[in-house]
Structure 1
Amino acid sequence: MGRGEREAVAEGVRLHDAAQAVAGDHGRAVEAVRAALKPIHGEAVEQALDAISVTRLKEVTEGRLRLGDVEQSGLRSVRQVLDAGPYRLRQIPGVGQRTADQIVAAAGRIADAVRETVAVHIDVDAPEPRTTALVGALHVLVEAGPDARRAVDAAAVLSALLGPLLAEARTAGGRMRMLLAGRAKRERALRAVAEVRGATEEAVRGGVPELLAQASVDLLRGPPSDAAAWVDFELRSAEYYSLLAEISGGGPDPDAAEGFLPDEVAERVRGQLLDDTHRRVSLRGYQAFGARFALTQRRVILGDEMGLGKTIQAIAALSHLAAEGQSHFMVVCPAGVLINWTREIEARSKLRATPLHGPDRQEAFADWRSRGGVGVTTFAALSGFPVPAGGELGMLVVDEAHYVKNPQARRSRTVTAWSEHCERVLFMTGTPMENRVAEFRSLVRILQPQLAEAIGDRDGAAGAKAFRRAVAPVYLRRNQQDVLTELPTLQHTDEWEELSASDEAAYREAVSEGNFMAMRRAAYAHPENSAKLDRLCEIVQDAAENGLKVVVFSHFRDVLAAVKEALDGARGPGGGQVFGPLAGSVPPVRRQQLVDEFAAAPGHAVLVAQIEAAGVGLNMQAASVVIICEPQVKPTLEHQAVARAHRMGQLRSVRVHRLLATGGVDERMVRMLKNKSRLFDAYARRSAVAESTPDAVDVSDTAMARRIVEEEQARLGAGTVPAPPAGHP
């Protein structure tokens, strides 16, 4: 064997060793999670068994057991029965060996069921050594991200391929071995060398060695500190819980996670592969199923309840199609979420996002058409673009699809025209369709006309599950309580908006005057044309459709007044009472009365509150949606306000929406406060001092205000006016 063959084998050995190392590093990281999880899960199981009465054993044995003597002995729960064991049970008068064995066996079956279903909840407000160890172990895998998963998959393929080949090629590794080997063995060795060379060259072309090397580094790198791991957990709790469910084998009920689809549809969806090459984040199981549903069924409605990640499911489907070679996609959405869509696509995938909105939208459309990627536009702007030829568009995504429920509306006709020229269409809406059969039929008529005619009013009247089964080929909806087994969680969304013309005028005036506080609330100066207020009403509308309570926070009393007027008026969501404003001028007793009335109101309701007045001391567990109208100067204010809703007693996840305007004071504040907020989270948030004293972490508001005003005056070319100290609402 010559030098070339020896080098080929050596390269194959190095690649095989790297693959083995990645597999080992990943296996150890997973085992670290399992080891940290075991005592926490065990305690959760014991607590659950403690809460199950011994009388439930009758259900397991269909009433055949007589448990009176056992209960009289003081054994009240299934856990106590298991702890007692058959020997102690036999000491109870009236309990023989057969009965004792039956009791223990029944208790064991209940315990097995509890072990499979009990969910571990990580309490960020009460960290202790065991949960800290679990969060730290999970942090390694979360930080490694989807690339580590791809590396492990590639390592498994390489190990299986190269292992046998290298064993065959070993004969060719030395001159003496080749001389002593028979002819057939020499030929097999040379063929193996050729295959090793081919496999390694293909791996190098695909960047596999670099992928394996980076994965090993990432899997061996722990969190910089326990505090840093906890901060990251709060920021990305969904990814942590997703990994935890995957490793532990736990998770939601499969039927619920699959939207109670009939077996034939669910089986087809499960068989759909999902390429994650262009995706930057991991998916929960139900989210992966949703993306597969969109790909398999091709023209569908994704109707998941708000907070379940419809956007990332759509991005996952687009990323898969991009990996298959599709180049052009279009997202149509309300103007209020256009910026969010653009940012989410860029943050969560490798796809190029192009906003097709504003005065330059035709030039942007031409650029998108020539370069490809994801065009993001509004319902109004879509009508100004030429309908694509068949096959040109990989997928059309329509967010808030209930906007096109009226077939006579211009936007409905435009979306219909685009849909007719696109093989794959994904409608998204958080509005439940079970009781809106006429609206649902209108949407389905755009997607699958033949199915629309088969949907009758009686399908909705039969109940949610029956309705979903009837419309399974086109509709998938999951509820939070069915699929988020670790409830309650806290989910943050930054809602980026472009200022309207009147917003921009008010903002420029505030900048020229050097008025920092006026700059912060300029987006609400003209409520009738406020982009932020429009988005706020949309969020409240979505909450109303799902029967959820909402708390709206602002630093400014005039902003709260504008919010209340908008929600009370014709622009408001309708249905559901609006309470407040709860401001500093309201006596403490009355504040608590307002909160109590808000909590007692049936169904959907809104409480508007000044953030300083309501951020400390009041509990608002009734709310599961929190809206913050503008970024706050101190991170403590936002943390404490959110904590009013997300705390002990909250039974649903809490969704936090922070309304932000692009390109001005909001963006500068978010950037400047980011590091201070993380520092605060890491060292102060969990202390009693931070809870009771909002000023415990001073971010120097006056200096920040002056700097922001000066930078904005320079950007807008306004006169330089000294920025006054931060004023009052």
Structure 2
Amino acid sequence: MASSQMAGGFISLPTCGRATASSAGAHVKHLRPMNAELIVVFTERHRLGLTATPYMVEPVQENQPIRIIEQATPERLNDYDRPFSELQQQVVKTLDYLSDRRLHKKFSREKTIKEFYDKLTNDTLEKNIRPEIEKRMLECIELLALANDTPAYFKDAGYSHLYPSDLLEVSMVPSEAVFSFELTPEALDYRLLVRDLGRDFALTGRQPRFITHAPCSFILNNRLYRFTDIDSKKLQPFIEKKHIRIAAQSIPTYMEKFVKNCIRDFTVTATGFDIIEREGSRKAILSLEMGLGQQPVLILKFNYAGKSYLAGTKSSVYVEMRHTNQRYTFVKLQRHTDWEQQIVTLLGSLGLDAATDCYYRPHQMLAHDPQLSLYNMVTWLTANQATLTEAGIEVEQSQMPAQYYLGSSDIESRVTEGNDWFDLRILVKVGNYYIAFHKFRRHILHRTREFELPDGTYFIIPEVWFTRYSDLMHFAKPGDDDNLILDRAHFNLLKEAVAVTTSLDSIAPDQLDTSAAFTTIDIPAALQATLRPYQKMGFSWMVTLAQNKIGGILADDMGLGKTVQTITMLLHFYQHQHETPPAKTEAPMQLSLFDAPAITGFNQSHLPPSLIGMPTSLVHNWEHEIRKFAPSLKVYVYTGQQRIKSKDIAKVLRHYHVVLTSYGILRNDIDYLSQVPFHHIILDESQNIKNPASKIYDAVMALQSTHKLVLTGTPIENSLSDLWAQMNFVNPGVLGTLNFFKNKFVTPITRQKEETGEQQELETRLKTLIHPFILRRTKEMVATDLPPVSEQVLYCDMTPEQQQVYEREKSGVRNELIRAIERDGMQKSGMIALQALTRMRQLANHPALVIDNYEGSSGKYEMILENLESIVQEKHKVLVFSSFVKDLQMIEKELETRQLTYSKLTGATTDRDGVIRRFKSNDECRIFLISLKAGGVGLNLTEADYVFLLNPWWNPAAELQAINRSHRIGQTRNVFVYRFISTGTIEEKIALLQEKKSKLADTFINSNNPIADLSEDEIRELFA
């Protein structure tokens, strides 16, 4: 049987009596002997040097050439009916990377392997291929050292056969380089020995066959030597000579550089100088320093015997050289790598990320912001100081522009409760210093983190302070002896900031089921009504506010009885002054300036009267409700041309319990009314004072009273500034100045297109400020006995003639508007946009609203009238709301033509009570035409169970108010709401904007978004 053949330095596969690679096929597996063995052969390969190749061979026989079956590959191993160990498989897989096929595929574009080697340059070989060979050979040698089932052989290229005697010894223990130094006054001699299994020998005169160079491995005398820490360049000089001599003048430099490093990295024997090995003190140091680009970093260092060096350095030994008394001494300290790793693991568990082996930063640090990074690091060091100290880690601040306080801090507070304020004594303990809290005011308001301590170090103000205390610092005022004075209206800020309990805690219910927190207040005996549980709670809330001299906003849904709750509260205060309820009288009496006051039933409570301001349309409703529910309260209606106009009006009003007036009268007669000291000032539909620049706002702010209360279902109609105006009326200064409120809350909250964490934080802070002073219950929350309301949108197709007019007008309006925006900008074009929008809405309703000679019909009108006739035939009553009075007038003509009985209420209606009574009491009158402005509030029309909304508007709350005329306490039937929308018109887009722009309502109570809040893109989209 032919043996293996050697050709050009390669072992050739046998071709006689054996299957070759080309003949291997479906039956090859059966040709492989089961007792075949795996070996690795080291031999010279053409151009590649000494490498290893795996082979499958027949069982090795003593003194007989080894017969090779084939080269082993990962794929061919599967053809043998025998198991291979995991290490054997890994050896074959590793060496397969060095096969001609794999090298050709990875490093060449030549078509054949021969062309690859023919055109291989030395430069390519050394730069690209040699590193791959080194890497794979080191892996292979490591595996062979571990695998006792895979023998290795060395095949000299000059011999044809491979014999068992060519077997290599591969030790599991790496060899070691030993440097031997001899120092004399004349020279430094040193040599290098190889220590293998406890035996030292020199390489001089020997011929090792190097396999790898860094680290080094070689074959010598049938043994494979491998090293882990030395390269072949350090060994090769000693193959030619026994030792190297360093001249006397070079000895100091050589000792400092070469000898010191050898002692650190290798085993060294010395004559003429000393090497001392010992253990010294050790400690870990975490140093706060400024790195590249002024980026702060935390640098981990380890200190042994007073010498520090960076974590992550590879050497596990530290060597210090001393030269005293003409003698060199080297002190060798062994590093404790396990202990160092424990420190690294601890820092990771405490929230530090390693940017490199020694540079650390806290998790999620904003690396692009050096100042914030520094504060985060100081904060982290402060928070973990105790743990670091316990672990033996010292903290340093090296070469920093300032030194930072890294200890703990505490806040000590004492709060004294006065009649109208809180006296706050708050001290911050920082180290040994006690600092009055008000000294941090400027820093907190301006978000300045660094506070200089008396010793010159800087205390980094915790980030949480800016959230927790910024409102407190804005609203509190400096007092005596470093104290702070806080108005009682800000008690909620005090609770949050200082964590104290005040006597006012029970006035800020989060949910309805917290009503148990209120002190039970008896319902006045003179009340002629039965309050529901939520109304009792509202009454108690208002009384508690007044008792604590705090104003409030009752913002219940329309129809939940804000009026009766308020009347109950007034009755409580006026009745509370008597042993028995005041006597009832049949009819109210109106006094003049000349009447005597001692009339039975008039105000004898020793309390001044209370003033209720409201829209004109609600005056008679309030008068009626007071007569009905609290006839013992005497009412003075301050309206009409015959009203008293005198600065002595208080002499008359003091005999009454309640004074009713309209906003218009209040504005016009403020010179008289401002002279009267009232007990309560109550504003109904208080959104009327939403504009702080208006005369009515100035007027109500000029009134005098002990207590203030406002009632509204929509405290926010246009923007958050509406809320400020009403809140500033009931509790002046509670939200700061208007400019502060706009800058602090309105702009950041409303101008963000997408909600951010900062915006959410501001919303939370604002809700904290207003929470105690606003009570809002929705019908879904409290009126479970109300029947359901069903809402449906009826989409109306325009008639052909209406469609034609609409598209023609839209084109002209859009072009005019776009020109105005481009010419004057969006801000100055708001009025033009509003006019254009109104015109398009009217056209969508009926072109005849704006085009006098229009003779066509309207698809929406046809559907409205058809539904009205059906409702009347079915004996139901319906409320028809429109934003346009002319809209109602046109429907009125159609109703008259069809002989349908109706009532109509607009701003021009003089007999308001008459038209309301007509609808409520006349069974034939089943249709009530109402303008949204005149009848959206103050009406109780539960006789109707249908509501028609003829045109959408920006304010969802306005539509809700209209619906609540019918769907309110007292309604017993299901209520059906129909919204009429003309398809393909601006009405559809308005409906979408209503939904898109309603977030403010859900967040803070209620909302509306007028055209002034629309962006240019939204305006263009409306008219697209």
TM-score using structure 1 length: 0.34
TM-score using structure 2 length: 0.25
| Larger-gyration structure (1/2) | 2
Q: Which has the higher contact order (CA 8 A, sep 6+)?
A: 1
More strand by share: 2
More helix by share: 1
